[in-house]
Structure 1
Amino acid sequence: MTRNRLPTEAFLITFDTGDGSAFRRPRGSDGYPPYDIERLAPQKGAERLRVTLAVAGFAENELDVSVEANQLVIRGKQAEREEADYLFRGIASRQFQRVFAIEDGMEVTGASLRNGLLAIEIIRHDPVHLVRKINISTAE
């Protein structure tokens, strides 16, 4: 199967996980925000995945989740806040964009934000195998 060329910053998500190569991280990515990808129990004949990003400090209105072509794009941009007098600042507060390339037939069904974790649900329904009868005409 041939694929469209993907941007170098995209992560590939596929259900072909026999050898663990289904999730490929590009070289040189900074790793922010950290994320997990987990396989969930199938439901009603559909395979399911969850992508979870650690987005501590981001409010719901500062996050954007969209599907563009065959890419799941997650963006975060924190609103301007009054600068505090920090003695130490260890919690990142920078904007980000994380891109995951998804296979044809995968559908992002929803996203939720709880306890600083953004969880995005992805499903792929079993392919429908159609049988079509072809009529044979007689040539005269």
Structure 2
Amino acid sequence: MTRFNFDPLFRTTIGFDRLARLMDAAEQQAEPSSSFPPYDIMMDGDDRYRITMSVAGFSREDIDIQAQENLLTIVGRKEQKETGGEYLHRGIAERDFKTEFQLADHVEVKGANLSDGLLTIDLVRDVPEEKRPKTIEIKSSAPAGFLDKAKKLLSDSSPKKAA
């Protein structure tokens, strides 16, 4: 397996250790990602997101949603029932699934709803005030430069009234 070296990427960054771990984990992931159940991720405004999963045949009791740190895990376990008949075609997938989403910092799960076979999970990014970008004032402690001295001389040489 080909290994990538991400060291050059992190030479100019500070505090992105978590990102490096995520890239290493993605590279080393042994099992291919499953596309079951199908899902959509929608951005609803600047800091609001919605995940919609098609979970036809699953009830609220069959689905477990857990959010821990920066990982959202959705697990569906369907108890197999004998119908007593023989299927000629079976197109409705009722197999168990586990889907994980990596969440960015400060993204929180606000709620989940199951309706008409669609599971919707609402997410909000709520960055605390102390973590938001702020403008830093630049102060000058150097002595006045040539232009500053010239401006001062020009303003001081205003015509004086004769007494």
- TM-score, length of structure 1 as denominator length: 0.70
User: Would you say 1:119 and 2:120 are equivalent positions?
Assistant: yes
- CA distance in 2 between partners of 1:8 and 1:92 (Å): 27
Which amino acid in structure 2 is aligned with residue 96 of structure 1?
Answer: F
Q: What is the one-letter code of the residue matched to 1:85?
A: E
**Shift, 1:80, TM fit:** 3.0
- Relative contact order, higher structure (CA 8 A, sep 6+): 1
| TM-score, scaled relative to structure 2 | 0.61
> Residue deviations 1:75-113, cap 9 Å, x none?
000123123421110011110000001011110010000
Identity of aligned residues (%): 40
SS in 1 for 2:17: coil
| C-alpha deviation, 1:8, in angstroms | 4.1
Where is the helix percentage greater, Structure 1 or Structure 2?
A: 2
Where in structure 2 are the equivalents of 1:57-76 lying within 5 Å? 57-76=57-76
Counterpart mapping for 1:6-25 below 5 A: 6=22, 7-8=25-26
Larger Rg: 1 or 2? 2
> Secondary structure of 2:99's partner?
strand
More strand by percentage? 1
1:40 paired residue number: 44
- Measured in 2, the distance between the counterparts of 1:28 and 1:69 equals 23
Unaligned segments of structure 2, at least 5 residues:
1-15, 135-163
* 2:106 and 2:127 in contact (8 A); partners too: no
What displacement does 1:126 show?
Answer: 4.1
Residue in structure 2 matched with residue 135 of structure 1 by the alignment: none
How many residue pairs end up in the alignment?
111
Q: What SS does the aligned partner of 1:99 have?
A: strand
Q: Which residue of 1 aligns with 2:77?
A: 77
**Partner Cα separation in structure 2 for residue 8 and residue 99 of structure 1:** 12
Residue 96 (structure 1) aligned with residue 97 (structure 2): yes
Q: Paired residue for 1:29?
A: 33
Report how far residue 61 of structure 1 moved. 0.4
Per the alignment, in what secondary structure is the counterpart of residue 102 of structure 2?
Answer: strand
Please name the residue that 1:21 is paired with.
none
* SS across alignment from 1:92: coil
